[in-house]
Amino acid sequence: MARRARRKKLTTRTLYRLWAELRFSAMAMRELRGPLLAFALVWALGAVLHWRFGAPVDGAPPSLGMAFFIAFQLLFIEHTGPLPAHPVGVALQYLLPFAGVVVLAEGLIKIGLQVFQKDAQQERWMRVLANSSRGHFILCGLGSVGFRILEELVGMGEQVFVIERNANSDLLPQARALGAEVLIGDARTEDLMRSLNVQGARAVIVATDDDLANMEIAMDVREIRKDIPIVLRLFDQRLAQKVKGSLGISATFSASKMAGPLFAAAALDPHVVGAHRVGDEVLVVMQITVLSGASLAGLTVAEVAARHRLTVLALQNAKGWAAQPGPNATLEAGREAQLLVAGHRTDEVHRLNGAR
């Protein structure tokens, strides 16, 4: 089911991107209005002059239609007819091909810059892509925390637009390699935030390392769209609690508060890979290798929960990890398992596994 949902998200993203490519190409074509107008004027002028001063065709002056055809050939350096007798007609034979080359070159250069060099017009391309997308995430800040958030979202098949102020960040190439759309700029600039289609986004995550900047960004986003979920990173725990209610933020996280339980639990037991506080209780995720002959070996997920009050989050099998295994899945000896347990019960888990 998870893989099917992820494939569906990737297909949707591909369709959004294709639509954005078409819109961006249409914008590029609009840039050709100048060159096309110049081409039409040169063509019309050349045709009229050739009609008046051009070489005879089958012994008779060229018709207006024939003059337009010959002028078109001259613009593309394809005409091989005789030189006219009149000096103006002779000059046309040399000037029209030159004018054609100049006008066509200008048009091709503009198309190339618009369609093939999106990096040179990054903000414009990102604006088109974002406004062609729906349900995307906007991530502000690509520090160590922001990059980990990006990895998780991309891993779930989500489309992420990143705003990062530091153009020299070492994480930029890695973020782009993951498939994120990265825009260099200050997220506090309202126009920049609007360009990423906040109205169509699923959520905005503000994760820079500046509390005041994060609050300012959150307030700007709330002004743009009143109901969008905002996840805010703040270092100050007290400020995080106050801001959550006053600004209508969906969630506020203090990095130190989140990391504290994990560091403490990991110091007590190296098998702890995650931690979460519920009220006064710290729950930890332990990753163990099920030992042969241990009390846990051979039990089903349902039996582990009923007998030992342990929640099995994931089991390793021949194909890799299976998250949220069914009640009849078995803890096989020699395979790894991830268990959710109260922090004070880590020694008990090891005893059940026969490791201590």
- Would you call 288 helix, strand, or coil by DSSP? strand
Q: Do 193 and 282 belong to one domain?
A: no
Structure tokens given for 164: 């990062």
Count of CB atoms within 10 A of residue 82's CB? Answer: 10
Q: Do 248 and 132 belong to one domain?
A: yes
> What residue has token string 């209780």?
281
**pLDDT for res 269:** 80
**Strand extents, DSSP E, 1-136:** none
- Residue 6 resides in a domain: no
Segments of the chain with pLDDT less than 70: 1-10, 13, 20, 23-32, 107-123, 236-268, 355-356
Q: Do 179 and 245 belong to one domain?
A: yes
**Which residue(s) pair with 212 in the sheet?**
none
Structure tokens given for 173: 């190439």
CA 145-253-343 angle, 5° bins: 95
Q: Do 249 and 166 belong to one domain?
A: yes
Q: Do 247 and 302 belong to one domain?
A: no
Which of 115, 143, 178 finishes a domain?
A: 115
To the nearest 10°, the Cα dihedral for 216, 227, 5, 175? -10
- Residue 62 resides in a domain: yes
What is the model's pTM?
A: 0.57
Range of the domain at 227: 122-255
CB distance 198 to 138 below 8 Å: yes
Q: Do 348 and 303 belong to one domain?
A: yes
Using a 10 angstrom Cβ sphere, with 0-12 exposed, 13-18 middle and 19 or more buried, the burial of residue 344 is exposed
Q: Do 141 and 207 belong to one domain?
A: yes
Q: Do 215 and 153 belong to one domain?
A: yes
Q: Do 131 and 248 belong to one domain?
A: yes
- Amino acid in the structure at residue 298: G
Q: How many domains does the chain have?
A: 3
Structure tokens given for 90: 């002779």
Q: Do 181 and 279 belong to one domain?
A: no
**pLDDT for res 241:** 67
Q: Which residues contact 39 (CB under 8 A, 6 or more apart)?
A: 75, 100, 103, 104, 107
CATH number at residue 242: 3.40.50.720
Q: Do 240 and 127 belong to one domain?
A: yes
Structure tokens given for 342: 């109260």
The closest alpha carbon to 138, from 198, 185, 89, 75, belongs to 198
CATH number at residue 321: 3.30.70.1450
Give pLDDT tens digits for 106-121. Answer: 766 666 655 555 555 6
Which of 230, 255, 280 finishes a domain?
A: 255
How many secondary structure helices (H) and strands (E) does the chain include? 13, 11
Q: Do 98 and 131 belong to one domain?
A: no
